[in-house]
């Protein structure tokens, strides 16, 4: 990490995380990590720049093959790399799938609280979100299988699943996902499984398409190395299918999708999957340590706040509802000088006003400082 103990923003980074707000605001909002990018990825990119190797990305089998080996080693998932198609990023893959597979105004199931961009993707593809919210059991947010079944029974035929779930960091279990595959098969539902956070898991993760025939017949996975290896600006993602039934539903996907991904992103992906596993394992350990640090800071300084069990990601779902602060995210931004994502961005109807999403992929001193500032606002000291 470049500058762990200074609280002014990183001088050598120019991504939205660092430029969106003034330098005295701690940026704990957008899903980027403060850690340095893995050395093999930096080396690959540097070499490409030196070689002026910056042309169009043509058909590029290597990315699918590298992901195949990674997914097999990490999760025991055998995918067919010839059915991995590149896209500009995961958002573009989702929108293209939705455009190809849905009609005007079509209802698409989501489980809130969920990644805010899901709603803009649905809007862009002229789809209408339908919610089967996660349910809180003890300290764990879980899928509500009866509500999902009810949505399918009511006629919903497309399901945008966030697996692992951003925010809350839940790994949906193999049992839950198997049940979803069964229901999807029964009701002929297309399951779009967004698995971009999967490498950042510290309990076993189950890829949807690894779950046998019912999953293969219903699912399309969208993913990238960009979240786990912190290269969102490189613009490359892909989608994977495992059956002719799903490929028939996606037959309107544009041929040109592949040409709209970046050559740098595609090569970074190969470097990540082939040479970035050591870095990834270190990062996952670091995230677990940071989460424990966040938990202890929150327990000490924000006694009325609540954090939940997490199994993946660096995006904590923090319940500050007990403090009854109006327009919570804006108050935290303007008064505490910390940028977080508003809870209400993660629901359909301004749900979750007492929550914020807090990015803890930074240094421990920054986590401490952010919690201290939020506590000053909430606890008034």
Ligand X SMILES: Cc1ncc(COP(=O)(O)O)c(C=O)c1O
Binding site for ligand X (CB under 6 A): 31, 89-91, 115, 162, 166, 194, 196-197, 224, 226-227, 232, 237
- Give the shortest CB-146-to-ligand X separation in angstroms: 24
The span from the CA of 235 to the CA of 343, in Å, is 27
- Give the shortest CB-301-to-ligand X separation in angstroms: 27
- For residues 27 and 339, is the Cβ–Cβ distance under 8 A? yes
Dihedral of the alpha carbons of 71, 72, 74, 75, in degrees to the nearest 10 = 90
* Residue closer to ligand X (CB basis): 64 or 237: 237
* Residue closer to ligand X (CB basis): 170 or 301: 170
* Residue closer to ligand X (CB basis): 115 or 279: 115
CB atoms within 10 A of CB 142: 17
- For residues 319 and 313, is the Cβ–Cβ distance under 8 A? no
* Residue closer to ligand X (CB basis): 89 or 214: 89
- Give the shortest CB-237-to-ligand X separation in angstroms: 5
* Residue closer to ligand X (CB basis): 196 or 325: 196
Closest CA to 220 of 347, 30, 112, 87: 87
- Give the shortest CB-352-to-ligand X separation in angstroms: 16
How far apart, in Å, do the first and last CA atoms of the chain sit?
Answer: 31
- Give the shortest CB-296-to-ligand X separation in angstroms: 26
The span from the CA of 263 to the CA of 219, in Å, is 27
* Residue closer to ligand X (CB basis): 194 or 297: 194
- Give the shortest CB-120-to-ligand X separation in angstroms: 11
The span from the CA of 66 to the CA of 70, in Å, is 6
Cα four-point dihedral sign 91, 92, 93, 97? positive
Angle at 225 between CA 46 and CA 160, to 5 degrees: 150
């Amino acid at each position: 990490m470049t500058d762990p103990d200074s609280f002014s923003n990183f001088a050598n980074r120019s991504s939205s995380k660092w430029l969106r707000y003034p330098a005295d605001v701690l940026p704990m909002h957008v899903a980027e990590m403060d850690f340095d990018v893995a050395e093999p990825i930096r080396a690959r990119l540097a070499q490409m720049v030196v070689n002026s190797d910056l042309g169009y990305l043509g058909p590029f089998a290597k990315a699918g093959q590298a992901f195949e080996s990674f997914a097999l080693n990490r999760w025991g998932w055998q995918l067919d790399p010839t059915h991995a198609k590149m896209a500009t990023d995961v958002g573009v893959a989702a929108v293209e799938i939705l455009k190809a597979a849905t009609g005007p105004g079509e209802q698409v199931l989501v489980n809130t609280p969920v990644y805010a961009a899901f709603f803009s993707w649905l809007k862009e593809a002229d789809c209408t979100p339908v919610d089967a919210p996660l349910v809180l059991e003890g300290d764990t947010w879980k899928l509500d299988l009866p509500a999902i079944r009810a949505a399918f029974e009511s006629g919903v035929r497309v399901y945008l699943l966030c697996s692992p779930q951003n925010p809350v960091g839940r790994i949906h279990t193999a049992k839950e996902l198997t049940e979803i595959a069964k229901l999807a098969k029964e009701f002929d539902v297309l399951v779009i499984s967004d698995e971009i956070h999967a490498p950042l898991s510290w309990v076993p993760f189950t890829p949807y398409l690894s779950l046998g025939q019912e999953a293969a017949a219903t699912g399309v996975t969208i993913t990238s190395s960009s979240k786990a290896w912190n290269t969102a600006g490189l613009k490359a993602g892909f989608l994977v299918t495992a059956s002719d039934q799903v490929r028939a539903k996606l037959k309107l996907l544009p041929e040109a999708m592949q040409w709209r991904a970046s050559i740098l992103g595609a090569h970074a992906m190969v470097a990540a999957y082939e040479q970035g596993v050591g870095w990834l394992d270190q990062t996952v350990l670091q995230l677990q340590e940071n989460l424990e640090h966040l938990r202890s800071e929150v327990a000490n300084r924000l006694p009325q706040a609540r954090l939940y069990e997490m199994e993946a990601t660096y995006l904590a779902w923090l319940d500050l509802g007990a403090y009854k602060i109006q327009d919570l995210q804006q108050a935290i931004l303007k008064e505490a000088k910390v940028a977080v994502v508003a809870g209400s961005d993660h629901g359909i109807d301004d749900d979750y006003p007492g929550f914020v999403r807090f990015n803890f992929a930074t240094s421990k001193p920054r986590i401490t400082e952010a919690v201290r500032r939020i506590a000053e606002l909430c606890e008034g000291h």
